[in-house]
Amino acid sequence: MKKIIECVPNFSEGRNPEVIEAISAAISSVAGCTLVDVDPGRSTHRTVYTFVGDPESIVEGALAAARVAKATIDMRKHKGEHPRFGAMDVCPFVPVANVTMDECVEVSKRFAERASAELGIPFYLYEESAEHEYRRKLPDLREGEYEGLAERLKDPRWKPDYGPENFVPEWGITATGARKFLIAYNVNIIGTSNQAHRIALNLREAGRSPEEPGRLKDVKGMGWYVDEYNVAQVTVNLNDFQVTPIHVLFEEVKKEAAALQVAVAGSEIVGVVPREAILMAAEYYIEKENLFIYEEEQKIRLAVERLGLNSVAPFKPKEKIIEYIVAGERDEPLASLTLRGFIEEVAARTSAPGGGSASAAIAAIGAGLGAMVAKLTWGVRKFDAVQSHMKEAIPVLHEVSQQLIPMIDADTSAFNEYMEGLRMPKSTEKEREARKAKMQAGLKTAIQVPLTTMRLGDKAWDALIVVAQYGNPASRSDSQVGAKSLETGIWGAYQNVLINLEGIKDSAYRDEILSEADVLMSRARTKCAEVLKILGE
């Protein structure tokens, strides 16, 4: 699955459209980076950019932006309402999908190292990247702002983590690091700004005072009135949506509003949001209302409706959810082909796509056929007695079929690392050892992909047995084809595991993988036979 990191650099320029556009263009020009939002502020004299990319391209995008800032922003002339101490004031990296916080920490350090060396500018590390606890929080780093920076840098305690130790007057200093995703979220109140602020004080972590804290962790907030919408708002920053999710904040505001006898009229997300945050809300309402919804698009729709996210402006998932914004860049050229096109690619006089990709596709079709039969049984009156069984089987088969689709392309690209090793120089003993290590790592990658196909396919068997027992009997042949296709897909993946294991020198690793693959293959034979036996009877 594609790794996605968000970068949110803040630049000390909010009034010169040429500079703002030049930074935008620099980010957009980097392959693999998608510029999501540009938010300039004239009074703050500051522009916030949001872009996403993989771990490699995100560093290049931040570097491209920093180069423009170095050439166009002079902090000696800067005045603005927002606290700041650098031309690129802050540059956080945020894990969004399939990437860890530790990876983002390394990305921030790689960026600081390269930018400081190339541009001669200093950096502090903050948040999760901080190497000193007293440097973790941005307000502590920014104390005294740009105007006090020259004096502060004389103190060894405030020596930069990267770059020159002396004051660079035209630049100042930049804070970079890794942090969790911050969601800017507003709940609309048909009431006064005072009432909205009372609610915010009761809920935000800081509360009214240290002696009177609020109920929700990792929440900052206040109340205000928005003339444009003609409503008051409880406006918050959710610093960690895993700790306090969107739906929890919304439901707590509803309770507070009811106590004040004022109405809640929906909410809005400012900027973009991770897919997971919206799906968490959907799962909450599905459980609360005892609903059965398994398709992601419908889950998103439920969350949007329950949270009232269309109340002040249309909530367009493809423009608001990060993973959907970058979906067009998904690296699935084979899975995105027409069926005819895929078959023609397989039949072409090339070694890839080959049996591994075909096996993933066949397994996906097998799970998909099981899902189809279950869905054709669900909601039909004459099958009321078996609805609980379909409710159990449908989500599993639907999800497995979706998870197997990316494996079609993953298998074809699995040998990339091995081929890179094969092309490495081998003139010296050191080069030969490095080449050998790279090739072995590549083979292990090539093994893990079909093994993952086997693992995913294995998750579908119990649900397929349920469908065989209770599914619409008119679709018996579909279930039979589904079971045999799933077994064939797993068998094909198994053959790919075996052939790549032959080149592995690590006997312990080889034995461990073979043992797991043998178990999965044996289960596939047994479970397929069980499905066919049930259907045959």
Give just the sign of the alpha carbon dihedral 382, 384, 388, 392.
positive
Q: Which of 369, 371, 355, 444 has the alpha carbon at shortest distance from 407?
A: 355
Give the amino acid at 32: G
Q: Mean pLDDT in the chain?
A: 93
Domain end position, chosen among 307, 328, 349: 328
pLDDT reported for residue 411: 79
Mean pLDDT of 317-329: 81
Interatomic CA distance for residues 164 and 116, integer angstroms = 8
> Is position 333 within any domain?
no
> Is position 334 within any domain?
no
Q: Which of 354, 338, 375 has the alpha carbon at shortest distance from 482?
A: 375
> Is position 40 within any domain?
yes
Q: How many CA atoms lie within 13 A of 241 on its CB side?
A: 24
> Is position 292 within any domain?
yes
Mean pLDDT of 92-114: 95
- Do 375 and 464 belong to one domain? yes
The set of residues, in sequence order, having a beta carbon less than 8 Å from that of 495 and lying 6+ positions away, is 355, 359
What is the token pair recorded at 418?
Answer: 């091995």
Please report the DSSP string for 103-139 in residue order: HHHHHHHHHHHHHHHHH---EEEEETT-SSGGGSSHH
- Do 165 and 42 belong to one domain? yes
Neighbours of 81 (CB within 10 A): 12
pLDDT digits (tens, 9 = 90+) for 332-342: 888 889 999 99
pLDDT reported for residue 56: 95
Number of domains in the chain: 3
> Is position 100 within any domain?
yes
Domain end position, chosen among 328, 348, 363: 328
pLDDT digits (tens, 9 = 90+) for 13-22: 999 999 999 9
- Do 247 and 373 belong to one domain? no
What angle in degrees, to the nearest 10, is found between the helix axes of 55-72 and 17-28? 150
Interatomic CA distance for residues 487 and 525, integer angstroms = 7
pLDDT reported for residue 331: 63
pLDDT at 110 over 60: yes
The set of residues, in sequence order, having a beta carbon less than 8 Å from that of 231 and lying 6+ positions away, is 188, 189, 190, 225, 265, 312
Q: Which of 205, 227, 226, 224 has the alpha carbon at shortest distance from 214?
A: 205
Interatomic CA distance for residues 388 and 296, integer angstroms = 21
- Do 48 and 74 belong to one domain? yes
Band of pLDDT at residue 328, cut at 50, 70 and 90? low
Interatomic CA distance for residues 507 and 512, integer angstroms = 9
> Is position 359 within any domain?
yes
Give just the sign of the alpha carbon dihedral 508, 513, 515, 516.
positive
Percent of the chain with pLDDT over 90: 80
Band of pLDDT at residue 218, cut at 50, 70 and 90? very high
Q: What is the CATH number of the domain that holds 411?
A: 1.20.120.680
pLDDT at 330 over 60: no
Interatomic CA distance for residues 440 and 446, integer angstroms = 10
Place of tokens 């075909």: 358
pLDDT reported for residue 139: 87
pLDDT digits (tens, 9 = 90+) for 58-84: 999 999 999 999 999 999 999 887 889
> Is position 422 within any domain?
yes
- Do 413 and 426 belong to one domain? yes
Interatomic CA distance for residues 434 and 355, integer angstroms = 30
- The distance from CA 193 to its chain's CA centroid, rounded to whole angstroms, is 35
pLDDT digits (tens, 9 = 90+) for 128-174: 999 999 999 988 999 999 999 999 999 999 999 999 999 999 999 99
Place of tokens 């969004």: 96
pLDDT reported for residue 457: 98
- Do 82 and 220 belong to one domain? no
pLDDT reported for residue 288: 97
pLDDT reported for residue 212: 94
What is the token pair recorded at 29?
Answer: 């020009």
pLDDT reported for residue 422: 82
Phi, psi of 531 (to 5 degrees): -60, -50
The count of residues in the chain is 537
- Do 67 and 129 belong to one domain? yes
- Do 515 and 466 belong to one domain? yes
- Do 174 and 193 belong to one domain? no
Structural domain harbouring 14: 4-178
Query: Are the CB atoms for 393 and 448 separated by under 8 Å?
Result: no
Q: What is the CATH number of the domain that holds 279?
A: 3.30.70.670
The kind and range of the H/E element at 52 are: strand 46-53
- Highest-pLDDT range among 218-232, 250-264, 331-345, 422-436: 250-264
pLDDT reported for residue 306: 98
Which residue numbers are catalytic? 82, 411
pLDDT reported for residue 487: 98
Mean pLDDT of 18-28: 97
- Do 344 and 324 belong to one domain? no
For residue 353, say if its preceding peptide bond is cis, omega within 30 degrees of 0.
yes
pLDDT reported for residue 268: 94
Q: What is the CATH number of the domain that holds 149?
A: 3.30.990.10
pLDDT digits (tens, 9 = 90+) for 460-510: 999 999 999 999 999 999 999 999 999 999 999 999 999 999 989 989 999
- Do 370 and 253 belong to one domain? no
pLDDT reported for residue 455: 98
Q: Which of 475, 306, 482, 337 has the alpha carbon at shortest distance from 405?
A: 337
Interatomic CA distance for residues 46 and 78, integer angstroms = 10
> Is position 250 within any domain?
yes
pLDDT at 519 over 60: yes
Domain end position, chosen among 126, 146, 178: 178
290: left (phi over 0), alpha (psi -120 to 50) or beta: left
Give just the sign of the alpha carbon dihedral 141, 144, 146, 152.
negative
Nearest 10 degrees: Cα torsion 519, 521, 523, 525: -150
Q: Which of 254, 275, 266, 277 has the alpha carbon at shortest distance from 310?
A: 266
Which string of b and e fits 431-460 if b means at least 16 CB within 10 Å? eeeebeebbbebbbbbbbbbbbbbbbbbeb
Place of tokens 């305690």: 157
pTM: 0.77
Interatomic CA distance for residues 15 and 211, integer angstroms = 42
Nearest 10 degrees: Cα torsion 111, 112, 114, 119: 120
Interatomic CA distance for residues 329 and 150, integer angstroms = 44
- Do 443 and 491 belong to one domain? yes
Mean pLDDT of 503-518: 94
